[in-house]
Amino acid sequence: MSLNIASIRGLFPVLHQEVHGRPLIYFDNAATTQKPQSVLDSLTNYYEHDNSNIHRGAHALADRATRYYENTRETVQKFIQAKESAEIIFTKGTTESINLVAQTFGRKFIGKGDEILISTLEHHSNIVPWQMLCEEKEAILKVIPITDSGEVIWEEFEKLLSPKTKMVSIVHASNALGTINPVKKIIDAAHEVGAKVLLDGAQSTSHLEVNVQDLDCDFLAFSAHKLYGPTGLGILYGKREVLEEMPPFLGGGEMIKEVTFEKTTYNDIPFKFEAGTPNIADVIAFKTSLDFIQSLKKSRIKAHEDELLAYANELMLPIKGFIPVGTAEEKVSVLSFNIQGMHPFDVGQMLDARGIAVRTGHHCTQPLMKRLGLEGTVRASFAVYNTKSEIESLAEGVERIARLKNK
């Protein structure tokens, strides 16, 4: 059965507004998704009824808040099919999750002359933390090249992989182009040389079924706000045996077993990596986002988004002056493009005037843009609440803008 998009739209209050006198068309979902009313209610409900610090209170509210917080951990565990909930760590976002791995696993296990592999497609948050580590440790960052259509070149990856490779940190689905990387194959090949693999799942987890046990990745990083959940909350999944070997990230309350002035012993996972009072309200509300996704089923969400992407391509490819960017075979619902002779920012402004929200620029992937010889792109990214009629409005807007320059 296909999804009832009209009723899904009814769950998102923010969608029902006008921008510059036109109905809002929100196509900036790869940056952040909108939140259903149930998530907003969950946040308010927590502050109205349960607000309390967790894991240490001897009273009913603290008990409840702790239970709800840990419930979300279990829901995330099931969402990505992890073996146990202790393998789920709450962070501030994908960025913090990757930094955590670079600063703990990296500092302990990566040394002088060791190699870290990333791809040309990476978001800055999967580049800079590794550069910082390489600088400190005299390790070497190597980059897997891509084709002009935005796919990693397998033979080049194989050439770069060696026993010196200690970490392969790669994006599962590109935020700038939508390319889905063949991560299962990458993980298997990396494990053969003894490297660990971190998947940047910021864009994949909202569109694809991600089963960390099947994939056998060592780490998965993602952000709640791209999954119809609150901002300021991220997840790091790690295999128990790897997490246990890693030193803590931040020091403070909660992450300890016992503190004396002479020596501190650390808590078990996941608490070893969750120092201080966490983002309790957002963690609790995130369960509601995951319930929302599960109630729709990811396969149906993906099917709807694929249909939107195919329709967008069908309408826009024939437009004179429309230049698609990133034409990989396997993609999530990201349409990156330029209009001949126009700066992406100007295109974005003109679409905004029509009530259409897109992103323009380098999408935090400056090296990728450089590889493609572009200053930036216009990016329309689709979510479950988007409709074919919104795609038609986008195509109409793009056509008009392109006609100005490409008569």
Which amino acids are annotated catalytic? 364
- For residues 145 and 361, which CB has a smaller minimum distance to ligand PMP in the complex? 361
33, 34, 203, 360: which one binds ligand PMP (CB under 6 A)? 203
**Cβ atoms within 10 Å of 92's Cβ, excluding its own:** 17
Task: Confirm or reject binding of residue 91 to ligand PMP (CB under 6 A).
Answer: no
Task: Confirm or reject binding of residue 77 to ligand PMP (CB under 6 A).
Answer: no
Rounded to a whole number of angstroms, the minimum distance from the CB of residue 1 to ligand PMP is 31
Residue with structure tokens 């709640």?
A: 224
For residue 337, CA distances in Å to 277, 302, 381, 386, 395 come to: 42, 21, 11, 19, 12
Rounded to a whole number of angstroms, the minimum distance from the CB of residue 199 to ligand PMP is 10
d(CA 319, CA 159): 40
- For residues 226 and 354, which CB has a smaller minimum distance to ligand PMP in the complex? 226
Task: Confirm or reject binding of residue 125 to ligand PMP (CB under 6 A).
Answer: yes
- For residues 123 and 331, which CB has a smaller minimum distance to ligand PMP in the complex? 123
Binding mask 290-329 for ligand PMP (x = CB under 6 A): ----------------------------------------
SS (H, E, C) 89-142: EEECCHHHHHHHHHHHHHHHHCCCCCEEEEECCCCHHHCHHHHHHHHHHCCEEE
What type of residue is 203?
Q
Choices 88-96, 102-110, 158-166, 331-339; region in contact with ligand PMP by CB under 6 A: 88-96
d(CA 63, CA 50): 9
Alpha helices in 194-318, H assignment, sequence order? 212-215, 240-245, 280-296, 298-316
Beta bridge partners of 324: 337
Choices 14-22, 118-126, 236-244, 389-397; region in contact with ligand PMP by CB under 6 A: 118-126
Q: Sort strands 115-119 and 140-144 into parallel, antiparallel or unpaired.
A: parallel
Burial of 104 (0-12, 13-18, 19+ CB in 10 A): buried
Contact set for ligand PMP, span 209-238 (CB under 6 A): 223, 234
d(CA 35, CA 358): 18
Rounded to a whole number of angstroms, the minimum distance from the CB of residue 223 to ligand PMP is 3
123, 239, 331, 359: which one binds ligand PMP (CB under 6 A)? 123
175, 205, 289, 360: which one binds ligand PMP (CB under 6 A)? 175
- For residues 95 and 393, which CB has a smaller minimum distance to ligand PMP in the complex? 95
Beta bridge partners of 196: 167
Choices 11-19, 89-97, 111-119, 380-388; region in contact with ligand PMP by CB under 6 A: 89-97
Residue from 297, 366, 387 nearest 27 by CA: 387
- For residues 94 and 333, which CB has a smaller minimum distance to ligand PMP in the complex? 94
36, 93, 178, 270: which one binds ligand PMP (CB under 6 A)? 93
66, 72, 95, 181: which one binds ligand PMP (CB under 6 A)? 95
Choices 64-72, 91-99, 154-162, 324-332; region in contact with ligand PMP by CB under 6 A: 91-99
Contact set for ligand PMP, span 236-295 (CB under 6 A): none
d(CA 347, CA 397): 9
28, 50, 87, 200: which one binds ligand PMP (CB under 6 A)? 200
Rounded to a whole number of angstroms, the minimum distance from the CB of residue 123 to ligand PMP is 4
Contact (CB, 8 A) for 351 and 405 = no
Angle at CA 335, nearest 5°, toward 331 and 338? 135
Choices 65-73, 121-129, 330-338, 354-362; region in contact with ligand PMP by CB under 6 A: 121-129
Please state at what angle helix 388-405 crosses helix 298-316, rounded to 10 degrees: 30
Q: Which residues bind ligand PMP (CB under 6 A)?
A: 93-95, 123, 125-126, 171, 175, 200, 202-203, 223, 234, 364
